């Protein structure tokens, strides 16, 4: 058993170091890391491609970790790559000041508990409360239901959800 684990670890390290060697040959990361300071004022502070590339690099650096250790290491790595840009939700608020979905759910559950609701009354109250606190996420959920009802999958599903959600917000 330990021989298999050792072999698997060796393969993972070999592939990750090969991937790092390839990543080091590509000169593109330098502009991606320098860009966040200038783009911090826009709605999307870091271009999606730069975030994805940084995420891949950070994951390759922390390939041996898992669970909470990996989450912590990824967060630290990403924050080091993009200093001065708030990448993650803090204190229960998203980057744009809305309550996170988890925070909104917790508040709604607490309110339902205080009112001693149960069964379908509780479910209806939770849905209404969450929809009030995060109408953007409620809109996306509705869009997702509609798109799945049409039988859309994969990229077509994502595109339909994005277009529908944009239409509901604008």
50-66: average pLDDT? 93
Token match 């229960």: residue?
92
pLDDT in tens, 22-37: 444 443 333 334 333 3
Between 120 and 95, the more confident residue is: 120
Q: What is the pLDDT of residue 165?
A: 84
Between 4 and 123, the more confident residue is: 123
Between 26 and 167, the more confident residue is: 167
- Residues found in the chain: 170
- What are the b/e assignments for 33-55, b being 16+ CB within 10 Å? bebbeeeeeeeebbeeebbebbe
- Residue 5 sits at φ, ψ, to 5 deg, of -65, -40
Q: What is the pLDDT of residue 44?
A: 54
pLDDT in tens, 130-152: 999 999 999 999 999 999 999 98
DSSP letters of 71-127?
Answer: HHHHHHHHHHHSTTS--S-BTTB-TTSPBPHHHHHHHHHHHHHHTT--HHHHHHHHH
Summary mean pLDDT of the chain? 77
Asked if residues 125 and 115 have their Cβ atoms less than 8 Å apart, the reply is yes
Rounded Cα distance between 78 and 41, Å, is 19
């Amino acid at each position: 058993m330990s021989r298999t684990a050792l072999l698997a670890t060796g393969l993972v390290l070999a592939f990750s170091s090969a991937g790092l060697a390839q990543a080091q040959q590509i000169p593109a990361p330098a502009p991606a890391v320098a860009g966040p300071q200038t783009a911090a004022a826009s709605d999307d502070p870091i271009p999606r491609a730069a975030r994805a590339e940084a995420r891949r690099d950070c994951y390759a650096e922390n390939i041996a970790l898992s669970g909470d250790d990996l989450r912590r290491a990824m967060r630290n790595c990403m924050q080091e790559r993009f200093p001065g840009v708030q990448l993650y939700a803090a204190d229960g608020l998203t980057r744009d000041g809305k309550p996170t979905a988890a925070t909104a759910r917790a508040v709604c559950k607490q309110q339902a508990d205080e009112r001693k609701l149960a069964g379908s009354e509780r479910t209806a109250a939770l849905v209404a409360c969450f929809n009030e606190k995060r109408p953007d996420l409620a809109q996306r959920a509705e869009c997702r239901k509609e798109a799945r009802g049409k039988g859309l999958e994969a990229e077509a599903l994502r595109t339909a959800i994005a277009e529908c959600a944009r239409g509901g917000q604008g």
